[in-house]
Structure 1
Amino acid sequence: MELTATIMKPVLYSCLLFSFWLLSFLSFCEAADRQAGLHGSNPSTYSPVCIEPQDGKMEADEIDALPGQPDGVDFDQYAGYVTVDQKAGRALFYYFVESPRNSSSNNPLILWLNGGPGCSSLGYGAMSELGPLRSNTSSDYDNAGDTTTAIETYTFPVNWLERFPQYKSRLFSSRVRAMRHYVPQLASTILYNNENTNQTVINLKGIAVGNGLLDEAITLRGIYDNFWTHALNSDETYKGIHKYCDFANDTVSEKCFDFTGQADDEIGDIDIYNIYAPICLDSSLKNGSHGSVHDFDPCTDYYVENYLNIPEVQNALHANQTEWTHCRDYAWTDRPPTILPILKNIIQSGVSVWIYSGDKDGRVPVAATGYSLIVLKLGVKKGWHAWYSEKEIGGYVVEYEGGLALVTVRGAGHLVPSNQPQRALTFISSFLQGTLPPSTP
C-alpha cells in the first residue's frame, strides 16, 4: 500500500514522538490566578490551566493497527483527543509513537509541530515527514492566533503527561518545521510557568526550529535574494526589488509590488518548498507500491489525504469522522512580525536552540534565516563548517555564544526529514545528545 513507508518513518528516530496540530487544555482547575502565557507577559489576560483526570485514557488511546501497516511493527502507537478548553468544547488531536520495544527505556520525548498556520502535524509531520485540529466551536477559527496557540500548546503536554505519567521524567524537546512561531512561543510559556509556579512542570531541554519564519520583513528580503542567487530570477528583477522595496522598514511601493510580482512569475511552475525537486504530475493512487523513505514521492500529499479520509483509518486513530485535509485557511488574529526577542530570552534561560534549514527551500530559505539571526548580534563560538552523515557532507553548521546553532541540511527542502531522512536523523540525534553534528566523516 502506498502509505507503508510513510507510516514507518517515525521509527527512524530512536525517541518518543507525538504529533499534532494546534493544541489544547486539561478538571481540577488551578486557582484563577491565571498561569498560562508568554514569558514576560502579563498572565492576567490568559486562561488558567486545568488538569483533568486521565485514568484509563492511555490504554483507550492505544492503536491496535493502522490499515495497511506492514507486518512486524515493533513499536506502540497511540492517538486520541486531549481537552484544552472545556467551556469552548475544544480539544486537540494527537498521534504518539513510541520507540521500538527493544530500545532504551530512557529515550527523550519529542513534541513535533507543523505550522502553516492551519496545517496538520499528522498529515505532514507523521505521515509525510516523520492531527488535525478538532473543534466543537466553529467560532474558534475566527479567533486563532499566536497567543492562543502558545497557551494551548502548553496546556496540551501538561495534560498529556498526566495521561502518560511514565514520561514525566524524560528530557522534553520541542521541534517545529513551519513558517510560524509555535515552538519558540511554547518554550517561552513553559519557562514562564516553570518560573512562576516554582516547579518544573515540563522539563524543557531544547528546541529546534526548522525552516521557521523568524522575522517577516527580513524573510522577504531573504526570499528574493535566494531566488536570484539560485538562478530563478533575472538580474533586472533583482535590481528592481532592491531599488523599490524597503524590507528593513517594512514599507513597499507600487513599483515594489510590480517587481515582486514579476519575480514570482519568473519562477514558473516549481515546488517552492523544494526548488530542485520534481513536481507531482500524476496524483492517481498506485496500488501495490510500497514506496521508500529514501525516494520521496512528490505526490505524497495526495496519497496521505486519500488515506486519512478512509473511515477505517479514522476509526483506527480514534478520530472523529471528518473530511480531512492537510491545511485549512482561517483568520489568524494575532501574529507578531518577529520572534527574535523571544528567541533571545530562551537562549538567556539556558535552553539549547537549534535553527535548521533545508538548503533547497525557497519559501523560508537559509538566506532569510541567516539575515534574521544577525539581528541577535551573538558572538560566534565555533565558525561555519561542514558536518557529516554516512561519510558525506550532510550540511553546514555555525555555533553561536549562548547555545544557539544554525544548521543547514544539504539537499533538503522545507520538509527536511522527507527529503533527507538519514541526514535528518544524524542532526536530530546530535541535537538530542547536546553536541553539534559530526565534523568528520
Structure 2
Amino acid sequence: MELAPPSRPGPRWLLLLLLLLPLPLLGQSALGAVTDEPTEEGKEVWGYVTVRQDAHMFWWLYYATHPCKNFSELPLVMWLQGGPGGSSTGFGNFQEIGPLDTDLKPRKTTWLQAASLLFVDNPVGTGFSYVNKSASYAKDLAMVAADMMVLLKTFFDCHKEFQTIPFYIFSESYGGKMAAGIGLELYKAVQQGTIKCNFSGVALGDSWISPVDSVLSWGPYLYSMSLLDDQGLAEVSHVAEQVLDAVNKGLYKEATQLWEKAEMVIEKNTDGVNFYNILTKDTPMSSMESSLEFMRSHLVRLCQRHVRHLHGDSLSQLMNGPIRKKLKIIPEDFSWGAQSSNVFMNMEGDFMKPVISIVDELLEAGVNVTVYNGQLDLIVDTMGQEAWVRKLKWPELPKFNQLRWKALYSDPKSSETSAFVKSYKNLAFYWILRAGHMVPSDQGDMALKMMKLVTQQE
C-alpha cells in the first residue's frame, strides 16, 4: 500500500504510516468472504459477503491482543451500530471500542484486550456495505436478520477457528433492536445445525426495543432533571399519548411521524437538549439551515438527527481517506456512508414496532440477555428501558424484580460508583452512571468492565 506523504515527513507521520500498513490478507475479494485466515492474535482481516443479489455486506475482524492469552482463549464479540445506517466499522470501531481512535492513536479501553472483535456494517447500504439497486435495501427486521444469517454462516464456515469460541452480540441503539432479532434467528440456526458457532448471548445497549416506552418516558425524565416546566411536560406528554395511540392501532408509519413531532416539541421546550446526552446541547443551526430543516420531510429530519451524528466530518475523512486506502477492496464508485440515509428511509415502517416479544423468546430459549443503559441518555432513556423490561412475560421476571442491585466500580482503588447491576439466571441489567447514549465513548473503563462481566471474564 502507498500513501501520499505529507509536505514535511516526521515521526508522527511515520507512526501513522505504520499503523495504517495492512496486515496479511489472504483470499479477499469484493464479493466474497476471506477463505484462509491468519491464526495469530494481533491480526485483522476484512471482506464482503453478498447476502442477496445486489446486496453486499462489509465486515472487519480484529483478533484479540491479550498480553497473556491466545485469541482462542477469549470470546468473539460482534458489534452492531444504530441508526439504522450507523457504521459499526466506522463509529463503533474508531469512536467506541476498537484498537485505535479517530486520530489513529491506541485506545486504552479497547475491547480488543479482552475479546476478538467483529464489526459489521448492517443493514446493507450502511458504512462500506452497499447495494447495486435501490430495491435491495432492507425494509424490516426480518430482512435484516435474514441478511445477517447469510453473513454469519459464511463467516463461521470460513473462520472455523471461531466456531467453538463463545460468541456474543453487543449492540447500541437501533443496533439493539437488530441484535434481538438477529440473536433469535441465530439461536434457531445453531439449533438446526445450519450455522456452527458457540452463540453465548446478546447485550442490548441503550436499545430501541420498545420505542413507545422511550417516548412515553421522555417527559417525566426531562421534568425530573429540570429540563421541562409544567407546560412543557404537558405538551410532550400530549404528543407521546398520540404516539401510543398510533402504535396500539398498528399505524407504525404514522407513529414514526409523531415520534419526530415529539422530538421537535422537546427541542422547543428544552432549548435544544441533546438527545444523546442531556448535559450537553445540540449545535444550533443557522437560520438558513433551520428553514431547510423545516421544509424537509419528517423522515429526512429524523435521519439528519439520528444518523448524521454517526458520520462526523473527521470520521468520514478518515474512512474515505486512509482507511479506504488500507482496505483496498472498496468499489471505486462508492464511498463510506454514501447510502446510509437510504438505509434509514427504507426502514420507515419498522422504526416504531416493539420487539419485547423477541426478547421474551430469547429468555425462554435460555439465551443470555444483557440490558445496559447510560444514565444521561434521552433518546433511549433508562426509565423507558425499565418500563419494557417490566412488560416481559418471562416466568422468572418476578424473581429478577425482587433482587437488589449491586454497585460496581471501574477503578478498584476508587470508592466512586460507576454502575449498578442486577442479574438473575439469563437476564442482567446494568445502569451505567455518567454515560449518555454511547456508553463506551462516555465511560470506557466501565464499558470494558461490563463486557468482561457479561462474557464471564470477571
Instruction: Normalising by structure 1, report the TM-score.
Output: 0.72
After TM superposition, the structure 1 stretch with the greater mean CA deviation from structure 2, 121-130 or 374-383, is 374-383
Q: Match for 2:272 among 254, 269, 281?
A: 269
Aligned to 2:341: 328
* 1:270, distance to aligned residue in structure 2 (A): 3.9
Aligned to 2:304: none
1:98 aligns with 2:60: no
Q: Tell me which amino acid in the other structure corresponds to 1:206.
A: G
Counterpart contact for 1:179–1:364, Cα < 8 Å: no
Q: Tell me which amino acid in the other structure corresponds to 2:76.
A: L
CA deviations on 1:215-274 (whole Å, 9 max, x unpaired) are: 122121022222222222112221344457425544799999988643321222343211
CA deviations on 1:351-409 (whole Å, 9 max, x unpaired) are: 1100101111111110110111111151233323322210331112223x452111111
* 1:337, distance to aligned residue in structure 2 (A): 1.3
Aligned to 2:386: 370
Q: Match for 1:219 among 205, 214, 229?
A: 214
Q: Match for 2:94 among 119, 124, 127?
A: 127
Q: Match for 1:393 among 417, 421, 424?
A: 417
Q: List aligned pairs for 1:24-423, cutoff 5 A.
A: 55-56=35-36, 58=37, 75-85=42-52, 88-100=53-65, 102-105=67-70, 106-130=73-97, 131=121, 132-140=127-135, 142-180=137-175, 181-195=177-191, 197-198=192-193, 201-242=196-237, 245-246=240-241, 248-250=244-246, 261-277=264-280, 301-310=312-321, 312-320=322-330, 321=332, 322-325=334-337, 327-329=340-342, 330-332=345-347, 334-335=349-350, 337-376=353-392, 378-381=397-400, 382-390=403-411, 391=414, 392-399=416-423, 401-423=424-446
C-alpha distance in structure 2 between counterparts of 1:256 and 1:307, whole Å: 33
Cα separation, partners in 2 of 1:185 and 1:245, compared to 1, 3 Å: closer
C-alpha distance in structure 2 between counterparts of 1:150 and 1:255, whole Å: 27
Q: Percent identity?
A: 18
SS of 1:304's partner is: helix
Unaligned runs of 5+ in 2: 1-11, 20-30, 98-120, 122-126, 248-253, 285-308
C-alpha distance in structure 2 between counterparts of 1:220 and 1:273, whole Å: 14
C-alpha distance in structure 2 between counterparts of 1:348 and 1:416, whole Å: 28
Aligned to 2:6: none
Q: Tell me which amino acid in the other structure corresponds to 1:55.
A: T
C-alpha distance in structure 2 between counterparts of 1:142 and 1:299, whole Å: 19
CA deviations on 1:91-133 (whole Å, 9 max, x unpaired) are: 2111111111644221101111102111111121101111425
Q: Tell me which amino acid in the other structure corresponds to 2:221.
A: N
C-alpha distance in structure 1 between counterparts of 2:359 and 2:258, whole Å: 34
C-alpha distance in structure 1 between counterparts of 2:260 and 2:142, whole Å: 31
C-alpha distance in structure 1 between counterparts of 2:404 and 2:385, whole Å: 16
C-alpha distance in structure 2 between counterparts of 1:94 and 1:397, whole Å: 32
C-alpha distance in structure 2 between counterparts of 1:124 and 1:337, whole Å: 25
Number of aligned residue pairs: 357
C-alpha distance in structure 2 between counterparts of 1:111 and 1:255, whole Å: 33
Counterpart contact for 2:228–2:270, Cα < 8 Å: yes
After TM superposition, the structure 1 stretch with the greater mean CA deviation from structure 2, 339-348 or 270-279, is 270-279
C-alpha distance in structure 2 between counterparts of 1:325 and 1:89, whole Å: 17
Counterpart contact for 1:380–1:398, Cα < 8 Å: no
C-alpha distance in structure 2 between counterparts of 1:168 and 1:178, whole Å: 27
C-alpha distance in structure 1 between counterparts of 2:348 and 2:259, whole Å: 27
Counterpart contact for 2:81–2:173, Cα < 8 Å: yes
More helix by share: 2
C-alpha distance in structure 1 between counterparts of 2:259 and 2:151, whole Å: 43
Cα separation, partners in 2 of 1:136 and 1:374, compared to 1, 3 Å: closer
Q: Tell me which amino acid in the other structure corresponds to 1:271.
A: N
C-alpha distance in structure 1 between counterparts of 2:323 and 2:132, whole Å: 24
Unaligned runs of 5+ in 1: 9-25, 27-51, 63-73, 282-297, 436-441
Instruction: Normalising by structure 2, report the TM-score.
Output: 0.69
Counterpart contact for 1:280–1:299, Cα < 8 Å: no
Cα RMSD over matched residues? 3.5
Cα separation, partners in 2 of 1:102 and 1:260, compared to 1, 3 Å: closer
C-alpha distance in structure 1 between counterparts of 2:361 and 2:354, whole Å: 13
C-alpha distance in structure 2 between counterparts of 1:163 and 1:133, whole Å: 21
Q: Tell me which amino acid in the other structure corresponds to 1:350.
A: G
Counterpart contact for 2:152–2:195, Cα < 8 Å: no
Counterpart contact for 2:235–2:265, Cα < 8 Å: no
Q: Tell me which amino acid in the other structure corresponds to 2:379.
A: R
SS of 1:224's partner is: helix
